[in-house]
Structure formats: structure tokens, C-alpha cells
Amino acid sequence: MPKKIPPQIKQVALALAEQEGLVKSAVVVEIDLMFDANGKPKSNPNTPGYQISEKTVQRWMDAAGLTQVPVGNYPMGSVP
């Protein structure tokens, strides 16, 4: 049986993708930096982080209707 991902992990991952505009690989890294292996906010930055896959983040983004926007064609500071 697959592990149950805490709801706060999903909320933060979607917020990072939508509000910060991070790509799924960056979302995975940020979740690893923000949460410990049990899904709780880290108090010590040297502890192992929470591991999710890019495929999971992509599935969440698809379900939420988020799409990746290539920002390489836009000048800095502009909103696509």
C-alpha cells in the first residue's frame, strides 16, 4: 500500500507551483528542504527531508489545472 502523503505537503507543493511559479523539480527540492521525513516542518536543516517524486507533483498540478509556463521568453519582472 502506498504511503499516505500529509495534506500540508500537497498544499505547500501546489502553492509553490502556482504562486512562486516553480517547476516540479524545484518543488520537490523545496519540499525536501522545508519538511522532515515525517512531514512536519523542519526544526534542524540537517535532518533528512520529505521525499516526493516529480510524477506526484505533476499529478497534483494536473488535477489542480496548473500548467507550466516557459518563462525564458519573458523579461525579468514581467508576469506571463
What pLDDT does 40 receive?
Answer: 94
Give the side-chain half-sphere CA count within 13 A for 53: 5
pTM: 0.80
Say yes or no to pLDDT of 54 above 60. Answer: yes
DSSP letter for 9, please.
Answer: H
The arithmetic mean of pLDDT across residues 38-58, rounded, is: 93
Residue 62's alpha-carbon distances to 22, 38, 47, 49, 75, in angstroms, are 15, 25, 31, 24, 27
Could you give the 3-state DSSP secondary structure of residue 45? coil
Residue with cell 507533483: 57
